[in-house]
Amino acid sequence: MKIFDRSQMREPDDGLAAERNFPRKLARCELPPTSLHGREAPRTLETGGDAPHSLTQIIGRSPAMQRIYRIIERVAPTNATVLISGRTGTGKEIVARSIHRNSTRALRPFVDINCSALPEQLIESELFGYEKGAFTGATQAKKGLLETAHSGTIFLDEVQALKSDMQAKLLRVLQERVIRQVGGRENKEIDVRVVAATNQDLVEAMRRGEFREDLYYRLNVVNIRLPELRERREDIPLLIDHFLKLHAEPNRQETRHFSNEAMRLLLSSEWPGNVRELENAVEHALAIGAGPTLRIPDLPPHINGFVGEIEMWEFAGGPRSLREVERRHILRVLEETGGNHAHAAQVLGIDRRTLYRKLNKYNS
Ligand SMILES: Nc1ncnc2c1ncn2[C@@H]1O[C@H](COP(=O)(O)OP(=O)(O)OP(=O)(O)O)[C@@H](O)[C@H]1O
Ligand SMILES: [Mg+2]
């Protein structure tokens, strides 16, 4: 459960201002910083309704993104259920948050549930809550996430992962707007706005009989399909600029930028991991690069291509010391081997002790 620091939450105008200035603000939607959400950890819940103004914004001026802004603009103030689809890293979560923050529920909870991260046997009690004694270990009653989201928005991420019995129970919630706790006898009315996301083709899942048709139509009242990054390459420079600022080291004075060659490579890459992959590449370059200009060798190996990279460095970055070349090569091999020291030492043709000695030397 991630709850924002209450001391930062005193911004009563936050949601209302977001609504008043909506069309202008939308392209720069103010969202909670993702770094606070523990992006890599399995997310379960986040009450971001009254979250602070943040660094994270939806970036992009391409026609495809402008279309998305227009849909968000129209749909956010309504209570309509929204299904966001798109490949991994295309920004589904950031869009879900933006819908919430630009709705009249902005100051109410935003509860984020990753349906694929919750174990199957826990999902019902997590979503619906339970009464004391409902099962072994239920020593006291617990409120479910749907109830926590009451008067706010519930974000059902990776909704395709729900098994068929949970799909049926969710359908009931959407139809009747009531929940019943596990072991409970009474129905409780709830008022939640549902936003769901999927990185899979739900129509295909429906054809295979894995996703209920009735639930699909309940969720898919408004559909937002997020384009892949390679379909909107014109946004890449803007995103790079954004991430360079977002991830800049706080105590570093100069602003850093990519060399022309690195920029060309970034613009022409395929980006199967979409915006998240681009963000990681920028963070990687900021961490690895030494000077104000970030160069091709500073990018992750799967982007700059492992083969021939040594030659590229020499020419792109000017003369470099043998120590620097060795340091980078070792880091690269460690990355290639997923941080496995034994394997890296084998690839490098040195023993493990020598590898540790070298790593210590670079760290000193
Ligand atoms: N248009 C955008 N502008 C700025 N940042 C973005 C944009 N799209 C995505 N991001 C950033 O990229 C990262 C991935 O975005 P997000 O988590 O929303 O993707 P996702 O579609 O939910 O991915 P997944 O399917 O893997 O869960 C986040 O750090 C997010 O802040
Ligand atoms: Mg996501």
Task: Specify the CATH number for the domain of residue 277.
Answer: 1.10.8.60
DSSP 225: E
85 lines ligand 1 (CB under 6 A): no
In this structure, how many other beta carbons lie within 10 angstroms of the beta carbon of residue 185?
Answer: 7
Ligand 1 centre to CA of 94 (Å) is 6
340 plus 243 within the same structural domain: yes
250 plus 160 within the same structural domain: no
214 plus 351 within the same structural domain: no
41 plus 178 within the same structural domain: yes
How many whole angstroms separate alpha carbon 168 and alpha carbon 48? 28
Atom of ligand 1 nearest to the CA of 242: 4
Number of domains in the chain: 2
In this structure, how many other beta carbons lie within 10 angstroms of the beta carbon of residue 106?
Answer: 23
Instruction: Give the CATH number of the domain where residue 32 resides.
Output: 3.40.50.300
Domain span including residue 306: 231-363
Ligand 2 centre to CA of 157 (Å) is 6
165 plus 245 within the same structural domain: no
pTM: 0.73
How would you write the pLDDT of the chain (364 residues) with one tens digit per residue?
332 232 322 222 233 333 323 333 332 333 333 322 223 222 222 333 433 333 348 999 999 999 999 999 999 999 999 999 999 999 999 999 999 999 999 999 999 999 998 887 788 889 999 988 878 888 888 899 999 999 999 999 999 999 999 999 999 999 999 998 888 888 999 999 999 999 999 999 999 999 999 999 999 999 999 999 999 999 999 999 999 999 998 888 788 999 998 999 999 999 999 999 999 999 999 998 988 999 988 999 888 764 444 445 555 666 678 888 888 888 878 877 767 788 889 989 999 889 888 888 876 6
Ligand 1 centre to CA of 39 (Å) is 10
**Shortest-distance ligand to the CA of residue 85:** 1
Domain edge (last residue) among 171, 200, 227: 227
87 lines ligand 1 (CB under 6 A): no
Domain edge (last residue) among 227, 262, 281: 227
Atom of ligand 1 nearest to the CA of 94: 18
275 lines ligand 1 (CB under 6 A): yes
